[in-house]
Amino acid sequence: MIGDETRKKLQDIVTGALLQRLEDHCTTIRNLLCESFKTGPTIKSEFESQSILKKEQCLFLKSHAEKEGLWRTSLPPGSEYLTRGGESQVFLAADNRHVIKLNDAIYYASWGEYFNSLVIHNLLFPNTAYSSGGLLGMYALLSQPDLFQAYILSDPALWWDNGYLTKYAQDKWDTGTCKNKSVYISGREGEPYVQMGIRDMETVLATKAPSGLHWKCMAYPAETHSSVILKTAYDGLKWTYSGYSAKEIVFHPMNGIIVKEEPFKLWCRIDVPVVCYTTNGTVPTAQSTRMQSFNSIVNPSRLVIKDLCVRVKYDQVATGDFTAREPLTPVQQQKKLKAGGFRYDYYEGDWDKLPDLSQLKPVRSGIMDKGFDMDKLPARGHFALLVKGFLEVLKDGYYVLALDKDDDLGDSKQYTRLSLGSEVLFDYDCLDGSCKEQSFIVPLKKGFYPFHLEYFYKAGVRNMQLVYVQPGINDSAPDPL
C-alpha cells in the first residue's frame, strides 16, 4: 500500500513540481527540465507536436552533461554489449561493475516524461533504483562468467521478457561451461518464487548446470522483496565461502607403519562442513568417504584428506603415507634394567645443524626422570641432547608417538631424530623455524625396545614435547613420554 508521502511525491512528479531533498542524477536532471521547459502529461494527439520540444531538451541535456562531466564521447565496444531491454541497449562499463544504457526515449513525447518515468520507478522500487541487479548478474554469469568468481542474486526478476534468461540458460549450458563459479539465488517462498521466475531457473539448474558451477536456490518464508536481500546477503556470503578456513588440515597419526587388515583410529580436526578422504592416493571428491573427528582406517597406502569448498580456490589438501608391515620386534628382556627414566647427555656448541654427538664430550649427563626440566638447562640456545634407554611396552597394539607443539608460544628452530631399535620414526628438521606437529603410528608387541633420541635446539621458544597415545585410547590429548 502506498503511503501518504509517496502519494505526495507522485503528485509532484505528474504536475511538474520540483522534488526536494533528492540528490541523485535522475532527479536533478528531471528538476532542471521542469524549471526550463513546460511540463505536464501528454496525450496521444499531442505526441507529434512535442517533437520540437524534445529536440530542444536534447540540446539542453547535452549542454548540462558536458558541463557536469557526464557526457560520454564513445560507447563501449560491441564485445561489451550485454542485452536489450525495451528501447534500451545495455553495455558493460569499463570497470566491469556498472552498466551503460543507451536509450533514445522513442516511446516518450519528451525527455521530461522519460526522466519522470525513471524517478517514478526509483520512488516505487527503491531497492532496484532502476537497476535489475539480479537480472544483470544472471546475464553476466551466462554470457561472461569470468567477470566474477561468485554471484549472489537477491529475488532477481527472471520473469523478464517471458523468462528470456531461463531459456538462454538452457541453450547456453548445453554447450558452455562455468568452471569454478558459484551462484546463490534467493527468492520469496510461495507464489512470488514462481512469479519472479526463480522456480523455472532452479529447474534448469538442476538439469542443465555445468559440472564446474556450484549453485543453490533458496526460498525464504515471510519476507518481502525489500527484506529478503538482508537474509540473502548473509546466507549468500556464508554459502559462497563455505569450506574456507584459515587453518591448515590437522590429523593424527600423520604417517607410520600399520598391519594389514588391522584398522587404526585416526583423529582429524573438522573446521569446515565437508571434509572427505581417500586411502589410495587419489584426490577426494564430494562422493568420497566423509571424514569425521574419529575415523577407523584400514589398509591405507597414501591417505589424502581434502576440505571441499564452494569456491575451489580455497580447497586444502593434506596427505599421509603408511606402510603395511608386521609389528616391530622387541629385544630380549634386558638384565639389570632400572625403571625411572632414560639417560641423557647434554651438549653445547655454536652449530647450525646437529653435529656428530659421538665425537663430542657432553657438558652434563643424567637421568631424564620426572624431575627433569629442559628449561633448567644452562644454554638458552645452541644445545643438543642425546637420550638413550629402553622403552617398555606393556601390551600389544598400535602406539602413536608425536611431537606436540604449542602454537601460542611462538616459533622455534630445532631438529629431532627418534628411533625405536633400527626403525627411524622421526627425522624432522625445522631449523628454519617452520616447526609443526608431527605424529607416527607404529605397531608394537609387549616387551622392550631400544630408544634413541637426538635433539638439537638452535633458537626460539622451546615449545615442542614428545608425547604418546596407547592402544585403545581415543582421547586427542596424549600423555608426555
Q: Are residues 310 and 379 in the same domain?
A: no
Q: Are residues 349 and 435 in the same domain?
A: yes
381 is a domain residue: yes
pLDDT in tens, 175-214: 666 778 999 999 999 999 999 999 999 999 999 998 889 9
Rounded mean pLDDT, 3-28: 79
302 is a domain residue: yes
* CATH number reported for the structural domain that contains residue 311 in this entry: 2.60.40.10
User: Which is higher by pLDDT, 321 or 116?
Assistant: 321
How high is the pLDDT of residue 44?
46
Q: Are residues 234 and 281 in the same domain?
A: no
Q: Locate 251 and state its grid cell.
A: 590429523
pLDDT in tens, 139-183: 889 988 888 889 999 999 898 888 999 999 988 886 666 778 999
Q: Are residues 411 and 436 in the same domain?
A: yes
Residues 103, 58 contacting (CB under 8 angstroms):
no
SS3 334: coil
Q: Are residues 421 and 443 in the same domain?
A: yes
In the listed set 297, 324, 351, which residue is the last one of a domain according to the structure?
324
102 is a domain residue: no
How high is the pLDDT of residue 130?
40
In the listed set 199, 221, 240, which residue is the last one of a domain according to the structure?
240
pTM of the model as a whole: 0.64
In single-letter form, the type of residue at position 404 comes to D
Q: Are residues 351 and 403 in the same domain?
A: yes
SS3 347: strand
CA distance 110 to 465: 82
Q: Are residues 55 and 155 in the same domain?
A: no
Residues 6+ apart with CB under 8 A from 398: 258, 262, 264, 265, 441, 442, 443, 444, 471
CA distance 117 to 242: 42
CA distance 390 to 342: 7
pLDDT band for position 101 (50/70/90)?
A: confident
Percent of the chain with pLDDT over 90: 41
Residues 141, 172 contacting (CB under 8 angstroms):
no
Residues 6+ apart with CB under 8 A from 429: 415
Q: Locate 324 and state its grid cell.
A: 603395511
Domain count, the chain: 4
CA distance 251 to 268: 4
Q: Domain range spanning residue 368?
A: 342-480
CA distance 437 to 416: 12
* CATH number reported for the structural domain that contains residue 417 in this entry: 2.60.120.260
337 is a domain residue: no
Residues 431, 457 contacting (CB under 8 angstroms):
no
Rounded mean pLDDT, 398-409: 78
Q: Which of 186-190, 290-294, 303-307, 457-461 has the lowest mean pLDDT?
A: 457-461
Average pLDDT, the chain: 84
Residues 343, 181 contacting (CB under 8 angstroms):
no
374 is a domain residue: yes
| Cα Rg, the chain, nearest whole Å | 36
CA distance 115 to 190: 35
How high is the pLDDT of residue 182?
92
CA distance 237 to 231: 10
Residues 402, 468 contacting (CB under 8 angstroms):
yes
How high is the pLDDT of residue 211?
83
Q: Which of 56-65, 247-256, 353-362 has the lowest mean pLDDT?
A: 56-65
Residue labelled with grid coordinates 524549471 = 35
- C-alpha distances (whole Å) from 468 to each of 192, 344, 396, 441 are 60, 19, 15, 10
Q: Are residues 414 and 380 in the same domain?
A: yes
Beta bridge pairs of residue 442? 399
How high is the pLDDT of residue 245?
87
- C-alpha distances (whole Å) from 288 to each of 256, 284, 306, 307 are 23, 6, 10, 12
Q: Are residues 46 and 116 in the same domain?
A: yes
CA angle at residue 471 from 424 to 406, to 5 degrees? 65
Percent of the chain with pLDDT over 70: 86
In the listed set 218, 240, 262, which residue is the last one of a domain according to the structure?
240
Counting runs of H as helices and runs of E as strands, what totals does the chain give? Answer: 9, 24
Beta bridge pairs of residue 458? none
pLDDT in tens, 336-385: 777 778 899 999 998 989 999 999 999 999 998 888 887 788 877 789 99
148 is a domain residue: yes
Q: Are residues 346 and 440 in the same domain?
A: yes
How high is the pLDDT of residue 4?
74
